[in-house]
Structure 1
Amino acid sequence: MHDVIRDMALWIACEIEKEKGKFLVQTSVGLTEAPETDKWEGVKRMSLMGNQNENILETLSCPHLLTLFLNENSLKMINNDFFRFMPSLKVLNLSFNGLIEFPLGISRLVTLQHLDLSWTSIKELPEELKALANLRYLNLGNMFELHRVPRRLISSFAKLRILRLSSCIWNLGPVGDNVLSGGGEYLVEELLCLKYLKALSIQLKGSCALGKFLKAQKLHSCTQFLHLEGLEESLAVLSLTGMKHINELVIYGSGLEELKIDYCPGDIQKIRESHYFHRLGKVIICDCIKLRDASWLVFAPNLKHIGILHCFVMEQVISVEKCGQVKEEIESLNPFAKLEYFRLQNLRCLKSIFWKQLPFPGLKKIIATDCPNLEKLPFDFNRVTECKIDMQIDTRLLEQLKREDPAT
């Protein structure tokens, strides 16, 4: 038996030794150029992330390469022939780089399944990308300079399962040949063609685009991140309840006056138990200059992160007037029980967060600055000191907390 174990151990050791040459990992070692070309030929998986490469000018032969990580470098340019002899590549990560132009050579990678271009400065995507018929994952998130994606490009990725497309430049003008025109309504049309789509992060601009998206119920179940911008008047929050997997919601730069949720006495517990917003963990509301409250947040029981910024007429986070007849029901829900991070900034008219003190059992950090009319925070000073909550709040609020503490 011991001989069998010894032989197996020797066999495993030999196999590991054979595989050693198939992995090339040089992460965060200060590289300013690609490693020597003789190291590439037999490599299957390579990671050069976290270095200082600015330009890749080489043309390399990597017939067996499956995975290539070039993320978190200082890349500004990649030679179009760099990818010419990588016929087997399936995973390419170029995120967190300074690339401005899309490296056209990527269009030759017909076996590619995973492409990450997030956090780059690429301005437009080429028609040639349609050649990537095997693509299953495409990350275009936080590409703040991206202003053109050809129509019928996204819908050409018939096998796509995961799409991240947010924080790019939307154009409300004529559509032309750009799916980013129209605020996202033409993108919605193309997304409906992707029958294998399982996870979606999307940004929409304007009420027309949102209206089209809300009618596209097929997309609701796969939406995980939703960024809404440029909305007017009011938004019925219950119209978002079909998105049972949404974990992050951003509402930005809109003329919204109300985020409304219609309910009657006795409905509160039913709404909470319906699991409408049970996966929602993060909400950011920013630059909504007409919005007076965000009372609907009490219906999201698992929120961990709330940020409300630059909403200049907001007077209450949870409105006592709106909750009126159902105050006791809402109190019994223990709002914000899982909240860890609470950020309130530049809310000039804000007077209150909640009408009574709350336990905030999970709170780790609160920021409350430039809120000159905020009278008090909904927890006591003992809670802050005992749990070592990280506070960045106006001096006036801190003094108020201390004055209300029986121990001082």
Structure 2
Amino acid sequence: MDFVGKVAAAAIPPCIAPVLEYIAYPFKVSDNVKALEKATATLTAAQTDVNENAARQGLTQPRLVEDWLRRVDEVKVEAGDITRRYKERCRCFGSRSFNCWSNFSISKDAAKKLKKVQEFREEFNNFPQVAIQPPPEVPEQPIGSEVVVPKEEANFQEILRYIDSDQNGIFGIFGMGGVGKTRLLHLVNNHYIGSSAFDVMVKVTASKGCTVEKLQKELCDNCGLVQGNSNEESQARTRIISNYLNKRNFLILLDDLWGEIDLERVGIPLGLGKQFKKKIVITTRSVSVCDLMGVEESVRVAGLETEDALRLFYEKVGEKTVKSHPLIPSLAQEIVKELGGLPLALITIGASMRGKKDPKQWRDRIDLLKKSRLKGVDEEEKLFHRLKLSYDSLNEKSKHCFLICSLWPEDYYINNIRLIECWLGLGLLDLSDAKNIYNPGFDVINELLSACLLEERKSLLVWEEDEYVKMHDVIRDLALWIAHDEERASLTSCFHDCPDLPCGVPLIPCDATSLQFLRVNCFSWLDRLRDATYFTPIKPLVQNVSNFRELAFLDLSSCGLKSFPQGISELVKLENLNLAVNRITSVPEELKHVRNLRFLSLRQNSISSFPKGVLPELKELMVLDFYRINYNLISEGGDEQPTSEIFLELSNLPVRTLHLAYENETHTLEIPSSFIEKVQDNLYSLELEVWSVRKLVIGSNYQNRLGNLGFLQFDMGELEMIEWSNIAPEDLLPMLSDLSFKDCRIRDVSWTLYLPSLRRLILYRCCHIVQLFERVDGSGAIKPTFPSLIVLILQDLPKIEIICDKSITFPSLEKITIVKCPMLKKLPFQSRGKLKTIDIKSKWWERLEWEDNDLKQDLQDLVF
């Protein structure tokens, strides 16, 4: 038919074509109106993109764009009028109208307006930078216990009633620390995830000492707003936030507010109009803060009723412990009575009693709780005395490690590896087992998690392998209180003047803003300090460290330093040096005199020269972080050495963790066999980010294997292939448990099929992968695949169509996460197996193709 139409069109004289177009109008009215509606919808989406882009960046539209937006509004009204006329005329005669003049008029107007809409769309295509980054997805918040008790449910419903009402304003949740306010806020957050009630939902933690600027930064980060440079004035950020929120329905959850905050200065509009929902929910320990903030309604969160408190306590103690002796249930009730229904105390003390099956241990705990009934102290200090019982049950090593956690700011997510390295640098952990230096640290973290003195947190980025812990704000206050009570110096933001600190103090916990209030001339006592951690740039203090001769741990990350501190060679007892995220350009030769150094982090600096021979002198070095330092090894004569030289210079060190990122023109990189030979007993973690390398050769003449390597990451933007020469991956990497690929150009990762210990595999933004795994077995019996793989994460793989064929199995897989893989149509499973979670979008799940519908139904309940 198309061919016939083209022949007919060619046969019609040009002068006749306009006449035929007019004659066709009455018969094409439906097609023309539908085409206009579709084009108008596309134009409306483009208009939204332009407005979103400006709102997120806080920009004023150019006059040309403003004029375009105005004209688009006009043409949308006109197109809507045509659609309305068409629908009204259809009401008279069902779906058809026999009024030729009406059909002619509407069809002609629709065709003309369609051309106009298409012209506007063409103008949009010529606008620069209209693409926008969507705001981060709202994460689900942890709520701990799944049990929702009646009193909590009543408060929860009261909050939802206010949020769902037509009234705009602020709702307050108040009550003492540890009573469950944040948990309520998390329940609200999780309730509205995926809801269409709000265009914007943000949870922000205020914490003690919160400022307008801090709230602005968190709001911009959570909404994906462009903040400009860090020195941009608060007023400019106010305008950016206000313009973005002003014409949107928003719900802002503001946790742990300690004082009045001017929301208008932040940029949060709270007008009286009801066109948009403008709701804020705050939590605070004081009802007076609710009054200062002008809350419309509020709820007071009090302790749990006895029955609910006992249920929560039993949950933490564990059923086996409760039933282990007939006296324990009655003793448990006495403890619950002493704790007054406070959830945090019930959780923490309950966790500390897990596994204690001797009634004498329970009686001792009851006696201690009764002794903690102090007269003349406030409720918070009474709580500290009770919570301290969990601290007292720790061994001395774990006590010190717990107190160190208060070094980090309130509500801070502490990276587990960085925390363990801090403990190691302070000499708090045993280093006798050089092959497993991190294991004692993980044991301590697990002990503190089990005691509910730390909370486990996962990264919000699905591809990030790191795990985190966090201190509840009351638990952190407890740690600082203990540190002060045990005569450890505690530098907090309340010390605006120079404190009279004792000499030789072993620990200085400080939060992110503390040291900025201290005068530089007050630091004469620092020459006897053993450890110091600075979280803020204090340039006059850190530019010369020669007086800190007893220092063992020094953290000067993110201090804006352009060079190493002067006098670094004087710190002969220094074991842990963190200079990450600065602007340092060179390493001094004097660094070789710091021979006790075990941990050195230079990640994310601009280092372009590194004296040859310095690294081999640091014979105690166990962790070396060169991640993204723009570093090329330069010889003494100034000539560049081969890329592999960096491995040779490191091969004589007992390095456990190595992060290498540098730029080089080499397209092929071979990891020398001598490096493998020297590091085989020590290396646990290796991250490679070597730009321009397309081919990585592994295995040439290797006589050894990396028997302890547990973590391996490739972040190599040009990497197309990994060549295995004369050695099988499973032989070289028998203990590899975590493997990730980021931003690589590889086309498959079939070499991972037989890794015996691989537990987690992550692929992120590898844009050339079509099929992930393919068997490369020769003749003979087919070997089993992925014997230990538990987690598989695939994100941003735009070309992947298939994961693998049926011959490849995942006998241990428990979780698969798939994000932004639009071409993938099938999952590689023949049965449920050990699967527990399928983390994908529900819409994508429905589009999947299945050979067996029964299997789909069987897996449905695993979709998360």
**Cα distance in 1 between the residues matched to 2:517 and 2:592:** 25
Tell me which of 49, 54, 61 is aligned to 2:525.
61
Classify 1:292/1:359 alpha carbon distance in 2 versus 1 (closer, same or farther; 3 Å). Answer: closer
**Cα distance in 2 between the residues matched to 1:178 and 1:123:** 22
Tell me the secondary structure at the aligned position of residue 216 of structure 1.
Answer: helix
Tell me which of 615, 627, 639 is aligned to 1:167.
627
**Cα distance in 2 between the residues matched to 1:109 and 1:295:** 51
Tell me which of 771, 777, 780 is aligned to 1:316.
771
Tell me which of 338, 341, 355 is aligned to 2:805.
355
2:560 aligns with: 99
**Cα distance in 2 between the residues matched to 1:180 and 1:46:** 45
**Cα distance in 2 between the residues matched to 1:317 and 1:182:** 36
Whether 1:281 aligns to 2:740 is: no
Classify 1:83/1:119 alpha carbon distance in 2 versus 1 (closer, same or farther; 3 Å). Answer: closer
Query: Counterpart amino acid of 2:658?
Result: S
Larger Rg: 2
Whether 1:405 aligns to 2:864 is: no
1:24 aligns with: 489
Tell me the secondary structure at the aligned position of residue 395 of structure 1.
Answer: helix
2:710 aligns with: 247
Q: Is the 8 A contact 1:140 1:166 kept in 2?
A: yes
**Cα distance in 2 between the residues matched to 1:251 and 1:150:** 24
Identity of aligned residues (%): 12
Shift of 1:212: 5.9
CA-atom RMSD in angstroms: 4.1
Classify 1:148/1:25 alpha carbon distance in 2 versus 1 (closer, same or farther; 3 Å). Answer: farther
Matches within 5 A, 1:183-222: 185-192=644-651, 194=652, 197-203=654-660, 205=662, 210-211=669-670, 213-221=672-680, 222=682
2:840 aligns with: 392
Classify 1:125/1:257 alpha carbon distance in 2 versus 1 (closer, same or farther; 3 Å). Answer: closer
For 1:147-197, what per-residue CA distance to the aligned partner results, in whole angstroms no more than 9, with x for missing partners? 23431363363433313123223356x9366999658544334335x4x52
Q: Is the 8 A contact 1:126 1:150 kept in 2?
A: yes
**Cα distance in 2 between the residues matched to 1:41 and 1:378:** 64
Higher strand share: 1
**Cα distance in 2 between the residues matched to 1:180 and 1:371:** 45
Whether 1:134 aligns to 2:595 is: yes
Q: Is the 8 A contact 2:576 2:598 kept in 1?
A: yes
1:117 aligns with: 578
Q: Is the 8 A contact 2:749 2:773 kept in 1?
A: yes
Shift of 1:247: 2.1
1:302 aligns with: 757
**Cα distance in 1 between the residues matched to 2:739 and 2:637:** 29
Shift of 1:297: 1.0
Q: Is the 8 A contact 2:734 2:756 kept in 1?
A: yes
**Cα distance in 2 between the residues matched to 1:249 and 1:35:** 48
Classify 1:94/1:179 alpha carbon distance in 2 versus 1 (closer, same or farther; 3 Å). Answer: farther
**Cα distance in 2 between the residues matched to 1:121 and 1:277:** 34
**Cα distance in 2 between the residues matched to 1:35 and 1:82:** 22
Tell me which of 814, 818, 824 is aligned to 1:374.
824
**Cα distance in 2 between the residues matched to 1:213 and 1:406:** 51
For 1:293-344, what per-residue CA distance to the aligned partner results, in whole angstroms no more than 9, with x for missing partners? 1011123222233221222221222114x34646x633x2x4163423x222
For 1:102-157, what per-residue CA distance to the aligned partner results, in whole angstroms no more than 9, with x for missing partners? 4524515432332232542242344264364333313225x223323431363363
Matches within 5 A, 1:51-90: 51=513, 53=515, 58=520, 59-70=523-534, 73-75=535-537, 77-80=539-542, 83-90=545-552
**Cα distance in 2 between the residues matched to 1:128 and 1:214:** 28
Matches within 5 A, 1:313-352: 313-320=768-775, 322-323=776-777, 325=779, 329-330=782-783, 332=784, 334-335=785-786, 337-340=788-791, 342-352=792-802
**Cα distance in 2 between the residues matched to 1:210 and 1:63:** 46
Higher helix share: 2
Query: Counterpart amino acid of 1:201?
Result: L
Whether 1:144 aligns to 2:600 is: no
How many residues get paired? 365
Classify 1:300/1:259 alpha carbon distance in 2 versus 1 (closer, same or farther; 3 Å). Answer: same
- Structure 1 alignment gaps of length 5 or more: 1-16
> With structure 2 as the length reference, what TM-score do the two structures score?
0.37
Deviates more, 1:204-213 or 1:113-122: 204-213
Classify 1:184/1:299 alpha carbon distance in 2 versus 1 (closer, same or farther; 3 Å). Answer: same
**Cα distance in 2 between the residues matched to 1:66 and 1:48:** 15
Tell me the secondary structure at the aligned position of residue 758 of structure 2.
Answer: coil
Classify 1:405/1:360 alpha carbon distance in 2 versus 1 (closer, same or farther; 3 Å). Answer: same
More RCO (CA 8 Å, sep 6+)? 1
1:8 aligns with: none
- Structure 2 alignment gaps of length 5 or more: 1-481
Query: Counterpart amino acid of 1:187?
Result: I
Query: Counterpart amino acid of 1:197?
Result: P
**Cα distance in 2 between the residues matched to 1:51 and 1:286:** 35
Classify 1:315/1:76 alpha carbon distance in 2 versus 1 (closer, same or farther; 3 Å). Answer: farther
Q: Is the 8 A contact 1:154 1:191 kept in 2?
A: no
Tell me the secondary structure at the aligned position of residue 805 of structure 2.
Answer: coil
Deviates more, 1:297-306 or 1:52-61: 52-61
> With structure 1 as the length reference, what TM-score do the two structures score?
0.72
**Cα distance in 1 between the residues matched to 2:512 and 2:642:** 35
Classify 1:211/1:394 alpha carbon distance in 2 versus 1 (closer, same or farther; 3 Å). Answer: farther
Query: Counterpart amino acid of 2:604?
Result: F
Query: Counterpart amino acid of 2:734?
Result: H
